[in-house]
Amino acid sequence: MNSQSIINQSKSPLAWSDLLFRINQTWKKIRGFFELLWASPTAMIGLAMVLIWVFLAIFAPALTRYSPLEQDYKNINKSPSAEHILGTDHLGRDVYSRLLFGARTILLLGPLSVVVALIIGIALGLPAGYYTGWLDEVIMRILDTFMAFPAILLYMIIISALGPSSMNVVIAIAIGGIPGIARLVRALTMDIRTREYVKAAKLRGDSDFTIMVREILPNCRGPLIVDFLMRIGYAAFYIGTLGFLGLGLPPPTPDWGGMVQEGHTHMMANIWPVLSATLAIVSLVVGLNLFADGLREESMRYQ
Amino acid sequence: MSSEIILQLENLAISYKTRKNIINAVRDVSFSIKRGENLGLVGESGCGKSTVAYSIVNFLGPNGFVQHGNITFKGQPLQNKPEKELRQIRGADISMVYQEPMSALNPSMRIQDQMAESLITHRGMGKKEAYSEVLQALKQVYMPDAEGTMTRYPHQLSGGQQQRVLIATALLNNPSLLIMDEPTTALDVTVEAAVLDLIAELQDRYQTATLYISHNMGVVARVSHKVAVMYAGEIVELADASTIFHKPLHPYTMGLMRCLPDVDSPKGTRQLHPITGRVPSPDQLPVGCIFSPRCEFAQAVCLEGHPLLEQITQDHQIRCFRATEWQNQKPTFSEEKLAEPCHSNKIEPTQPLLGLNDVKVYYPVPFKTVRGFLGLEKRQYVHAVDGINFQVNKGRTLGIVGESGCGKSSIARAIVGLESIFGGKMEFVGLDISKPISKRSIATIQQMQMVFQDPNSVLNPSYCVGDQIAFTLRRFRSVPKNQIQSEVERLLLAVKLDESYYYRMPRQLSGGEKQRIGIARAIASNPGLLICDEPVSALDVSVQAAVLNLLLEIQTKQDTTMILISHDLSSVRFFSEDVAVMYLGKIVEIGDCEAIYKPPYHPYTAALLAAVPRPNPDLPASHVRLHGRVPSAVNPPSGCRFHTRCPFKIGDICEAEEPLLRHLSENHSIACHLTGDQLCQITI
């Protein structure tokens, strides 16, 4: 009884200090990340550009007076005015409102498709790099066939087969991203698996799955984060492109690519829908790329 | 030796810019090198040795710069010289030899072309003329088959030959100053010995002033006339070689000597004395004497003021407040007694724990032709380990020594099961362990653990230290769940670290600390056999001693059986009871440690022993030297595998017949065709 209570007494502060440590560790990681950010003006500018869009997308209902779908036939193709900040399109819909709600779609679908690609890419790349041999050959040759198609062609094939919907856009972009991510993970795994801590894990009889997930995957995170950010930029770009080709979200959903597509026939009369949607795509993609590039440069500077 | 001063550094201070601040890496360094003189710059890693060398040739990188002080080369200041002029001086009058020969040579250029380059640019020679110069230079460094080497690519040369090419290149323009940055660190001992012989000889012949950087006191003793000991960016002692090695005065210099294992003293007779603590990082220097936190003799005055480098006799400068005291009376270091080995006199054979019977580890050579890929050609193998027998008895330590590529690491990996064996049988306490690890039972896995070589990859950078040790405890269920944390703390204490290390991340640790954690993780499963694969070769000397002491203590306290794999014969002698000498996948000599280190020697063992650099500048160079490279293990030489390099080869029998291990005494066997008497006559 007595010894039991001693163990209990010594146990609870231990558990607390353990929890405190984990929190502290996470906090340190976050702080280290922000220190990295502060040191790189490129990354800061990129992050600011992205955050502006995130802010606008989140508070879109509060920041707009009109619904993005509301059509006003009396005010078609109007230039910017106090009523409509960015004017109206060929159906009399408020361009500013469509832009903000369009940001919601792109900021939701972009990351979502990359996350899907990331999960599948890791699931294929980790075993390929870890086992090598015939498994690696089979996985990589299959992914090579996907890489043989130009990205946009691949997306067009997939969407024409599945039909345009937001779900299918995610699927198409995810499939397009898998080979690249799998290759990156495979290369990192092939390097990390020769480290001695992996041998140590084998020496305690850990299963291959445990070794891959616990020992190897966490050490791939640096390059993967940068790649992830870059890919969101590309995804945004391709969602725009698909929208422009009429393969994006079905109308009347507000979609930047779709706005360019619908607006470009009326461009001579009213340039605002095309111009604002184009600038929106450009600023988001450039912002994400600057952010990723800045992070990569800064984290490699003093090595 | 003339008195012309070639290089003079005065109060040199070098700094590096980082994201947060400016780091003063080197402070107040002054020395001069005369024509024909070799100055050895020694110290632990992180002491600024290479920074000094790079500042001379202005290679400090984008964030390094000389803060103040003068670098004078042949009477001319080198700083603030335009890059164009510097470029003319470099290569023509100042040459450099680097540590990694493979990365210093351009892999896509033939040797003759990359060597001729500096002649063509600096001396405006024609190609033909340059080639004949290059050939001369290669002959001067005793390159075997110099004509053939000319047209080869770097990857076709061995490490020693590559280093010879680099030395020949450095000497091509007959420079006044030669900077050598750890030129032999990446080489095997036998090759290192031959290269050091060459450096010493060339120095006498060409009268080049040399700045020789090394962390190895033994190497510096072999080549240098003067020695400067650097510590944390400052020179702490500067004197001629015999003074430094026979009458050192600075506690740091003495510490560096005391922590070296001695190849001439048997196990148990000599204790290693590590220097406690670690080199402070340049942005957290202690106030007062920079060495005071690690110095046993620090007094109040040492903690307050900063000592200056003072001349105490001619040719002897020292940075210590108590230098004059030491001149009269040598300081006495406090002796730390370790536990008596519980089996020091255990000669009676204990139970065999591990037995290897004709074990073979072969690696398939990838097919290069379509025919081979289709299975029409005979598969070729690298014979890494080719039929090895030995036993390790309980509680004893077996040392396995040999050059790189002799198969010693393959043996280790095969025993623990990381490698599957090609043939033969392995037994561990009667259990068959010939299968790889994935087919072994968890209880067998637990019994055999390994300590690895590279401290930088031994720990997973993503988890804190305690978690990594806890992984092992959880896996083997060594202790109940609620006691894991306290067990980890106990293990940390066992490797001489405190509980606060539980939450440290690997990047916050020094190399020696990482290696200790690696040991703690290995002993966490309470293994019966611990295999140490070069556990200290990547560590600084001062830290090596501490880790070796720790391993020895674990062995004596827990009576663990160990296998120590090392290329360093000194640490093997310090550590093991039995020794096996391997060459190209075969054991050439095996037996009791004392029998191995005394005649009769196998010719290969003799060459290994002769090659060990000893920290004594007065010892003459040995005449037993190996030449050539280790032959390919794909097609090992017929007969005795050592016959291609053996200095004592007797004739055709060596090429035709494979010598078997034969007993010379009860606990000593040698595989050689020489008779016992002939073997006894081999001296080193």
Whether residue B253 sits in one domain with residue B160: no
The answer to the question of residue B652 being in a domain is yes
pLDDT in tens, B471-494: 999 998 888 888 888 899 999 988
Break chain A into its structural domains and give their ranges. Answer: 1-39, 40-301
- What the block records as the tokens of A238 is 């391709």
DSSP run (H or E) holding A153: helix A151-162
Beta strands in B83-233 (DSSP E): 94-97, 177-181, 209-214, 226-231
Positive or negative torsion for Cα A193, A198, A204, A208:
negative
Q: What CATH superfamily is the domain A40-301?
A: MetI-like (1.10.3720.10)
Closest CA to B251 of B296, B220, B303: B296
Residues 474-493 of B with CB under 8 A from A: 475-476, 482, 485-486
pLDDT score of B647: 85
pLDDT score of B2: 59
Do residues A210 and B482 make contact, with C-beta atoms less than 8 angstroms apart? Answer: no
**Residue of chain B whose Cα is closest to the Cα of A199:** B418
Helix (H, G, I), strand (E, B) or coil at B586: strand
User: CB pairs below 8 Å between A and B: how many?
Assistant: 70
Cβ atoms within 10 Å, residue B682: 20
B472 touches chain A (CB under 8 A): yes
Backbone phi, psi, residue B92, to 5°: -90, -50
Q: Do B418 and A18 touch (CB under 8 A)?
A: no
A39 touches chain B (CB under 8 A): yes
pLDDT in tens, B552-589: 888 888 888 999 998 888 888 888 889 999 998 899 99
Beta strands B423-428; B397-401: pairing state: unpaired
> From the CA of B450, how many Å to the nearest CA of chain A?
7
When CB atoms are compared, the residue of B416, B485, B503 closest to A203 is B416
Whether residue B130 sits in one domain with residue B106: yes
Positive or negative torsion for Cα B144, B150, B154, B155:
negative
A196 touches chain B (CB under 8 A): yes
Residue of A196, A217, A303 for testing the chain B interface, max B β-carbons within 10 Å: A196
Reply yes or no on whether the pLDDT at B551 is more than 80: yes
What does DSSP assign to residue A217? G
A11 contacts in chain B (CB < 8 Å):
482
Whether residue B236 sits in one domain with residue B194: yes
A34 touches chain B (CB under 8 A): no
**Residue of chain B whose Cα is closest to the Cα of A21:** B503
Which comes out higher in pLDDT, residue B181 or B371? B181
B472 contacts in chain A (CB < 8 Å):
204
B464 contacts in chain A (CB < 8 Å):
21, 25
Reply yes or no on whether the pLDDT at B340 is more than 70: no
pLDDT score of A215: 93
Q: How many structural domains does chain B have? A: 3
Whether residue B132 sits in one domain with residue B109: yes
C-alpha B30/C-alpha B10 separation (Å) is: 4
**Residue of chain A whose Cα is closest to the Cα of B416:** A203
Reply yes or no on whether the pLDDT at B339 is more than 50: no
B452 touches chain A (CB under 8 A): yes
Do residues B12 and B72 make contact, with C-beta atoms less than 8 angstroms apart? Answer: no
Whether residue B611 sits in one domain with residue B534: yes
pLDDT score of A8: 41
Which comes out higher in pLDDT, residue B140 or B582? B582
B450 touches chain A (CB under 8 A): yes
HEC string of B349-407? CCCEEEEEEEEEEEEECCCCCHHHHCCCCCCCEEEEEEEEEEEEECCCEEEEECCCCCC
For the residues B322-349, what does the mean pLDDT come to? Answer: 64
Domain boundary among B172, B203, B231: B172
A221 contacts in chain B (CB < 8 Å):
462
DSSP run (H or E) holding B69: strand B64-73
Residues 243-262 of A with CB under 8 A from B: none
**Residue of chain B whose Cα is closest to the Cα of A20:** B503
pLDDT in tens, B8-18: 998 999 988 87
Beta strands B226-231; B423-428: pairing state: unpaired
Whether residue B64 sits in one domain with residue B38: yes
Q: Do A203 and B457 touch (CB under 8 A)?
A: no
What does DSSP assign to residue A88? B
Cβ atoms within 10 Å, residue B507: 9
pLDDT score of B337: 55
Whether residue B186 sits in one domain with residue B130: no
pLDDT score of B77: 86
B458 touches chain A (CB under 8 A): yes
Is B348 exposed, middle or buried, given 0-12, 13-18 or 19+ CB atoms closer than 10 A? exposed
The answer to the question of residue B489 being in a domain is no
When CB atoms are compared, the residue of A18, A196, A204 closest to B525 is A204
Closest CA to B517 of A19, A29, A197: A197
Q: Give chain A's largest Cα–Cα span.
A: 89
- Specify which residues B613 forms β-bridges with: none
For the residues B86-99, what does the mean pLDDT come to? Answer: 84
Q: A252 preceded by cis ω (within 30°)? A: yes
C-alpha B258/C-alpha B275 separation (Å) is: 9
Whether residue B240 sits in one domain with residue B179: yes
* R_g over Cα of chain B: 26
pLDDT score of B619: 80
Q: Do A21 and B525 touch (CB under 8 A)?
A: no
Listed in sequence order, the residues at least 6 apart from A137 whose beta carbon sits closer than 8 Å to its beta carbon are: none
Listed in sequence order, the residues at least 6 apart from B642 whose beta carbon sits closer than 8 Å to its beta carbon are: B583, B584, B588, B603, B604
Do residues A288 and A240 make contact, with C-beta atoms less than 8 angstroms apart? Answer: no
**Residue of chain A whose Cα is closest to the Cα of B439:** A205
When CB atoms are compared, the residue of B19, B442, B522 closest to A205 is B442
The answer to the question of residue B607 being in a domain is yes
**Residue of chain A whose Cα is closest to the Cα of B476:** A204
Which comes out higher in pLDDT, residue B80 or B670? B670
Helix (H, G, I), strand (E, B) or coil at B267: coil
- Specify which residues B212 forms β-bridges with: B40, B180
pLDDT in tens, B445-465: 999 999 998 888 899 988 889
pLDDT band, residue B156 (cuts 50/70/90): confident
B373 touches chain A (CB under 8 A): no
pLDDT score of A303: 46
Closest CA to B626 of B590, B570, B583, B659: B583
- What the block records as the tokens of A27 is 């906090």
Cβ atoms within 10 Å, residue B394: 18
Instruction: Tell me the residue range of the domain where B184 lies.
Output: 5-101+174-327
The list of chain A residues with pLDDT below 70 reads: 1-15, 301-303
**Residue of chain B whose Cα is closest to the Cα of A215:** B460
Domain boundary among B172, B197, B231: B172
Whether residue B613 sits in one domain with residue B633: yes
C-alpha B202/C-alpha B223 separation (Å) is: 11
Domain boundary among B327, B359, B390: B327
Beta strands B209-214; B177-181: pairing state: parallel
C-alpha B214/C-alpha B186 separation (Å) is: 12
Indicate which CATH number applies to the domain containing B209: 3.40.50.300
Residue of B462, B517, B529 for testing the chain A interface, max A β-carbons within 10 Å: B462
pLDDT score of A191: 92
For the residues B635-648, what does the mean pLDDT come to? Answer: 87
Whether residue B295 sits in one domain with residue B198: yes
Q: Which residues of B648-681 are buried (b: 16+ CB within 10 A; e: fewer)?
A: bbeeeebeeeebebeebeebbbbbbbbeeeebee
> From the CA of A32, how many Å to the nearest CA of chain B?
12
The answer to the question of residue B50 being in a domain is yes
Q: What are the residue ranges of helices labelled H in A40-132?
A: 41-58, 60-63, 95-131
For the residues B261-283, what does the mean pLDDT come to? Answer: 77
Reply yes or no on whether the pLDDT at B341 is more than 70: no
pLDDT in tens, A189-203: 999 998 999 999 999
Whether residue B389 sits in one domain with residue B534: yes
pLDDT score of A11: 45
B442 contacts in chain A (CB < 8 Å):
205
Q: Do B437 and A21 touch (CB under 8 A)?
A: no
Listed in sequence order, the residues at least 6 apart from B559 whose beta carbon sits closer than 8 Å to its beta carbon are: B342, B343, B394, B395
B90 touches chain A (CB under 8 A): no
CA distances from B630 to A169, B374, B567 (A): 60, 32, 15
B471 touches chain A (CB under 8 A): yes
Reply yes or no on whether the pLDDT at B629 is more than 80: no
The answer to the question of residue B519 being in a domain is no
C-alpha B405/C-alpha B392 separation (Å) is: 23
C-alpha A198/C-alpha B460 separation (Å) is: 8
Q: Do B461 and A21 touch (CB under 8 A)?
A: no
Do residues B494 and B501 make contact, with C-beta atoms less than 8 angstroms apart? Answer: no
HEC string of B423-468? EEEEEECCEECCCCHHHCCHHHHHHEEEECCCCCCCCCCCCCHHHH
- What the block records as the tokens of B272 is 């290693």
Do residues B374 and B540 make contact, with C-beta atoms less than 8 angstroms apart? Answer: no
pLDDT score of B338: 53
The C-alpha angle B51, B55, B60, rounded to 5 degrees, equals 75
Question: Read out DSSP for A248-291?
Answer: SSPTTS--HHHHHHHHGGGTTT--HHHHHHHHHHHHHHHHHHHH
Rounded to two decimals, the ipTM of the complex is 0.82
Closest CA to B629 of B637, B621, B640: B637
What percent of chain A has pLDDT above 90?
41
> From the CA of B409, how many Å to the nearest CA of chain A?
13
pLDDT score of B615: 82
Q: What is the mean pLDDT of chain B?
A: 85
Residues 199-218 of A with CB under 8 A from B: 199-206, 214-215, 218
B19 contacts in chain A (CB < 8 Å):
39, 301-302
Q: Which residues of B26-57 are buried (b: 16+ CB within 10 A; e: fewer)?
A: bbbbbbebbbbbbbbbbbbbbbbbbbbbbbbb
C-alpha B515/C-alpha B106 separation (Å) is: 34
For the residues B64-71, what does the mean pLDDT come to? Answer: 86
Closest CA to B220 of B239, B189, B196, B195: B196
Residue of A4, A197, A202 for testing the chain B interface, max B β-carbons within 10 Å: A197
CA distances from B160 to B4, B143, B406 (A): 32, 10, 16
Whether residue B366 sits in one domain with residue B301: no
pLDDT score of A301: 64
- What the block records as the tokens of A20 is 């405190």
The answer to the question of residue B240 being in a domain is yes
Do residues B289 and B306 make contact, with C-beta atoms less than 8 angstroms apart? Answer: yes
C-alpha B314/C-alpha B308 separation (Å) is: 16
Beta strands in B84-181 (DSSP E): 94-97, 177-181
The C-alpha angle B96, B97, B100, rounded to 5 degrees, equals 135
